[in-house]
Amino acid sequence: MSRTNDVTRESLLKKAEKPSKDAMKFHPFYKGKLQVMPKCPIRSSDDWAIWYTPGVAAPCKDIEANPEKVFDYTNKGNTVAVVSDGTRVLGLGDIGPEAGLPVMEGKAILFKYLGGVDAFPLCLDTKDPDELIKTVLLLQPSFGGVNLEDISQPKCFKVLDTLRQEARIPIWHDDQQGTAAVTLAGLINALKLVGKDISQIKVTMVGSGAANIAIARLLIKAGVDPKLMLLVDSKGILHRDRRDRQTIMENFHEKWKFCELTNPDCKSGGIAEAMNGADVTISLSKPGPGFIKQEWIASMARDSIVFTCANPVPEIWPWEAKEAGARIVATGRSDFPNQVNNSLGFPGIFRGTLDVRARTITDEMCIAAAEELAACAADRGMTEDHLIPTMDEWEVYPREAAAVGAKAVEQGVAGIPLAKEEIYNIAEEKIRKARKDLEVLVDAGLIPMPPE
């Protein structure tokens, strides 16, 4: 029995290591994952008089007189800037804007393939939050929305909150809002499977960075009782009487809110103490394996739910979490069951947001996306190893877009009051086209297959 387990562990570890090895071969082969292609035909050199000068002056003057016409004459309404300063890339930390560019390119192709959205990676050479804010505001004329990415805390909160107040276009921080929406979707279905009520569960959040704080905030909006929630940072469980309370109050305002909101009994200790008796543990902290111990999972409540979503390696291997007694386990990786990853959220959420020209992306729009993701899995027959859809289930994205767009219309933040069915049809058409375009290029050999 032990020999079989060793062989299984070895094969699982090899599987876990393969994506990194392939990435080192494929990235230099393609020299980047993006290119720019025209949407219009070039029938002859005469067409330049239409697409460029002198013909282009006519739509320019019409936009000047009617600014909303920019959505009719340009691609602005289908474009998103993926903006990062490279200060918190995946689980790698502050590796800089150049080193973060492969991630932003990857984000852009996910936007296109899964959501039909044209996204452009913009890695900025600054760590100053005010410069980030100013730059994004200056970019507004060219983009329909902005996806903030891999920006360290606490400045990520200031950047997002300020831009949501001041920008004319929807601003979204995927590490906060995207992660929160998809995590909520997974939790909704996990709770159905174990038969627990969201308002009654004890939740432990391992890590108090941007992602977990955003998740905690959305979970509370969705029904989790903050009095039954514990958050843990590198110095222990958050509570209002912590010795470093002054430092937290002055420098980590969002974290301090949770010191006041959660843990009314001021329970102290570390991860082990926080996980003891918990129904749910959600960890976005330090990449593992081995950061979360099996004995900590064993101390959780019966039918425990464990989301270990650090990238690129989860805090504990999922099979080890199961061995320790967790009933449902999820990670952030696509090569394991139950991938809780923002790639299931942002393409569809932005698709719906752009198609109704929403001015912002509200928490309620995120919850609508989460509920639709959960419903998609339930419709197909969810199991403990299939909590939420996978990226292969592309039909999920137009459904998600329709739910988000309809919620925007309901809340009065949409510029175009479309019906839910209309939003779905628009999204489905655009996503189908994006996927077909790529298929045609690959089949024609214009995009070669990667090396063996």
Active site (catalytic) residues = 52, 107
For residue 326, the 8-state DSSP code is: -
Supply angle C-alpha 28, 32, 35, rounded to 5.
Answer: 145
Helix, strand, coil % over all residues of the chain, rounded to 5 = 55, 10, 35
Rounded Cα distance between 180 and 366, Å, is 8
On whether the CB atoms of residues 149 and 104 are closer than 8 A, the answer is yes
Rounded Cα distance between 59 and 70, Å, is 8
Query: How big is the chain, counted in residues?
Result: 452
On whether the CB atoms of residues 301 and 277 are closer than 8 A, the answer is yes
How many CA atoms does the CB half-sphere of 373 hold within 13 Å?
39
DSSP string, 395-443: THHHHHHHHHHHHHHHHT--SS---HHHHHHHHHHHHHHHHHHHHHHHH
The residue whose two tokens read 């790529």 is 438
Distances (CA, A) of 191 to 108, 299, 303: 33, 19, 10
> Which structure tokens are listed for 174?
């995927």
E strands, 114-153, in order: 118-123, 145-148
Q: Which secondary-structure segment (H or E) carries 100?
A: helix 97-115
E strands, 216-261, in order: 229-233, 236-237
Rounded Cα distance between 49 and 371, Å, is 49
Rounded Cα distance between 254 and 236, Å, is 16
On whether the CB atoms of residues 281 and 206 are closer than 8 A, the answer is yes
